[in-house]
């Protein structure tokens, strides 16, 4: 199904029947990606007396409870409610679901103290004069082990707050990254990149979202895509999400 997209005077065609899924599935057990010391995902049948919600165990239907933490157990999209005193929710904040996005790949820079950071200059070099609605950051190295990596107490790379400020200043509303957070794992609760991107509390951008723990395969090349962010309608600061990319062809 071919659709025509027009953005800032440019027209593109895209095939909506060929999505590129950049989410990590929620799977039960220890093989799921994990961060922030979260308990593993549990997907288990409901049991009521002699009845069990599992067809393979004699039940009439599969009827399961799911236990997870959206921030720690997989791909998720969050709103400013993640850091605000006000009770903003992702279901209230994300009202549009398709965006022109730029996929960039960055090798984080190692600092003197051993941190690995994505800098403002990285963003400048990768974007050039482009100013998309969304930015998708893939970090190197980019092994498939990211889909089941356990990040707790590993000090993963993160986004320097000056880079987050630049992304905000460019008017980019949606930030996606393949790390457990845009901020340093242990930063005394400062969350500088989160605050810079959302401009909270002085000039809060309620429509903006951050999506973390994505995985972009190596055979998906840097460039401009149509991005679709799918969430569940949670009245919570974050929801498990399924970001999809669609290749674009320029219309002459």
Q: Is residue 145 part of a domain?
A: yes
Q: Is residue 195 part of a domain?
A: yes
Per-residue pLDDT for 208 more than 70? Answer: yes
Residues 10-26: what's their mean pLDDT? 95
Check: CB of residue 18 under 8 Å from CB of residue 3: no
Check: CB of residue 10 under 8 Å from CB of residue 250: yes
Residues 11-27: what's their mean pLDDT? 95
Considering the chain, what is the average pLDDT of its residues?
96
* Angstrom distances, CA of residue 244 to CA of 76, 98, 216: 13, 9, 10
User: What is the CATH classification number for the domain harbouring 189?
Assistant: 3.50.30.50
Report how many domains make up the chain: 1
Global confidence as pTM? 0.97
Q: Is residue 90 part of a domain?
A: yes
Q: Is residue 49 part of a domain?
A: no
The pLDDT of residue 231 is 98
Q: Where does the pLDDT of residue 250 fall: very low under 50, low under 70, confident under 90, or very high at 90 and above? A: confident
Q: Where does the pLDDT of residue 9 fall: very low under 50, low under 70, confident under 90, or very high at 90 and above? A: confident
The pLDDT of residue 5 is 83
Enclosing domain of residue 161:
2-27+69-250
Query: pLDDT over 90 for what percent of the chain?
Result: 93
Q: Is residue 95 part of a domain?
A: yes
Alpha-carbon distance 111 to 125, whole Å?
19
Per-residue pLDDT for 3 more than 80? Answer: yes
The pLDDT of residue 252 is 62
Residue pLDDT, tens place only, 110-147: 999 999 999 999 999 999 999 999 999 999 999 999 99
More confident of the two residues 90 and 10: 90
Q: Is residue 38 part of a domain?
A: no
Q: Where does the pLDDT of residue 4 fall: very low under 50, low under 70, confident under 90, or very high at 90 and above? A: confident
Q: Where does the pLDDT of residue 7 fall: very low under 50, low under 70, confident under 90, or very high at 90 and above? A: confident
Per-residue pLDDT for 251 more than 90? Answer: no
Residue pLDDT, tens place only, 219-237: 999 999 999 999 999 999 9
Q: Is residue 171 part of a domain?
A: yes
Residue pLDDT, tens place only, 31-73: 999 999 999 999 999 999 999 999 999 999 999 999 999 999 9
**3-state SS, one letter per residue, for the chain:** CEEEEEECCEEEEEECCCCEECCCCCCCECCCCECCCCCCEEEEECEECCEECCHHHCCCCCCEEEECCCCCCCCEEECHHHCCCCCCCHHHHCCCCEEEEEEEEECCEECCCCCEEECHHHHHHHHCCCCCCEEEEEECCCCHHHHHCECCCCCCCEECHHHHHHHHHCCCCEEEECCCCCCCCCCCCCCHHHHHHHCCCCCCCCCCEEEECCCCCCCCCCEEEEEEEEECCCCCCEEEEEEEEEECEECC
Q: Is residue 62 part of a domain?
A: no
């Amino acid at each position: 199904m071919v659709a025509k997209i027009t953005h800032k005077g440019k027209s593109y065609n895209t095939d909506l029947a060929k999505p590129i899924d950049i989410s990590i599935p929620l799977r039960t057990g220890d093989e799921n990606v994990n961060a922030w010391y979260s308990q593993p995902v549990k997907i288990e049948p409901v049991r009521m007396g002699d009845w069990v919600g599992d067809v393979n165990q004699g039940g009439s239907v599969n009827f399961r409870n799911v236990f997870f933490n959206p921030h720690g157990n997989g791909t998720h999209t969050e709103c400013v409610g993640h850091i605000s005193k006000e009770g903003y929710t992702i279901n209230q904040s994300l009202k549009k679901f398709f965006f022109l996005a730029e996929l960039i790949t960055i090798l984080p820079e190692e600092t003197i103290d051993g941190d690995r950071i994505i800098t403002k200059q990285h963003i400048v070099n990768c974007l050039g004069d482009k100013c998309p609605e969304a930015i998708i950051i893939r970090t190197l190295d980019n092994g498939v082990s990211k889909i089941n990596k356990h990040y707790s107490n590993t000090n993963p790379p993160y986004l320097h707050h000056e880079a987050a400020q630049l992304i905000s200043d460019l008017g980019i509303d949606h930030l996606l990254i393949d790390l457990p957070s845009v901020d340093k794992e242990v930063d005394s609760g400062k969350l500088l990149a989160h605050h810079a991107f959302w401009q909270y509390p002085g000039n809060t951008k309620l429509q903006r979202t951050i999506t973390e723990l994505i995985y972009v395969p190596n055979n998906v090349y840097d460039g401009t895509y149509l991005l679709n962010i799918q969430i569940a309608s949670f009245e919570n600061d974050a929801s498990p999400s399924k970001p999809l990319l669609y290749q674009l062809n320029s219309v002459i």
